[in-house]
């Protein structure tokens, strides 16, 4: 009964698909060592490892300059954006990345191409780290699409054909589980992604709200999500540590 109540409280299945439990038999009795868990949880608990994840935003684009919502649409890197990517490449050149994961957006691919000159190894293009989908608002200026900023702060675009906060969190969980399952202990990986994707990561993994992030940045007079900014997360089993934000 206690187990059933805990599952209800955690919104868990009593026995997950492909789940497993661990027990042993001794002196005529069975003893439960591990309540039912899914495969990912099993690996994290019984085969722990630490992976460093560097999350980088693409270089400045034409839409960035025009203060337009990009999302899944695209615009090319500016000359400044290319220079930003080159400077980031210099900063990252001595880090031995086992894999570079790249958003399928052209602006991310072009940024990653510059970074990869020092890392000619494994590059994986994936939609899992694409920018938040803003639906019908893409291409509009922020003032036109979201004058109060509430949609942006809440990550609320489902009613205009885009994504909700939980949709993005599912993608985050999926790519981080993939990274954990694919890589070895002490591996380092780079994600070339997007600003709003990064902000949702901060909230989903570390509980940092957008409102608080922008308030703190305003007080310090800094950009919390600079183009080619580099954040550093550390993943150990199912725990995440924020080593560095993009603005640090």
Q: How far apart are CA 246 and CA 229, in angstroms?
A: 5
Asked if residue 102 lies in contact with residue 41, where contact means CB atoms within 8 angstroms, the answer is: no
- Marked catalytic residue, from 58, 119, 194, 232: 58
Asked if residue 87 lies in contact with residue 155, where contact means CB atoms within 8 angstroms, the answer is: no
| Annotation says 119 is catalytic | no
What's the sign of the alpha-carbon dihedral 121, 122, 128, 133? positive
Q: How far apart are CA 163 and CA 195, in angstroms?
A: 15
Element (H, E) at 97: none
| Annotation says 58 is catalytic | yes
Q: How far apart are CA 78 and CA 226, in angstroms?
A: 14
- Marked catalytic residue, from 60, 84, 131, 203: 131
Q: Which residues are catalytic?
A: 58, 131
């Amino acid at each position: 009964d206690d187990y059933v109540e805990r599952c209800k409280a955690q919104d868990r299945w009593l026995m997950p698909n492909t789940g497993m439990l661990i027990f042993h038999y001794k002196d005529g009795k069975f003893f439960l060592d591990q309540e039912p868990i899914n495969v990912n949880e099993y690996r994290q608990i019984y085969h722990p490892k630490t992976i460093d994840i560097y999350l980088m935003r693409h270089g400045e684009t034409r839409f960035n300059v025009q203060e337009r919502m990009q999302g899944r649409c695209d615009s090319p890197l500016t000359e400044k954006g290319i220079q930003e990517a080159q400077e980031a490449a210099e900063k990252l050149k001595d880090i031995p990345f086992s894999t570079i994961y790249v958003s399928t957006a052209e602006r991310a691919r072009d940024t990653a191409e510059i970074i990869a000159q020092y890392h000619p190894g494994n590059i994986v293009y994936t939609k899992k780290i694409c920018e938040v989908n803003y639906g019908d608002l893409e291409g509009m200026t922020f003032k036109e699409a979201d004058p109060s900023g509430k949609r942006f702060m809440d990550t609320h675009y489902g009613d205009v054909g885009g994504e909700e906060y939980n949709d993005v969190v599912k993608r985050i969980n999926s790519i981080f589980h993939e990274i954990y399952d694919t890589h070895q202990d002490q591996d380092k990986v780079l994600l070339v992604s997007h600003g709003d994707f990064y902000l949702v990561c901060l909230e989903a993994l570390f509980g940092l709200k957008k409102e608080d992030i922008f308030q703190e940045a305003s007080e310090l007079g800094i950009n919390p999500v600079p183009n080619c900014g580099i954040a550093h997360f550390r993943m150990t089993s199912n725990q995440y540590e924020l080593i560095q934000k993009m603005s640090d």
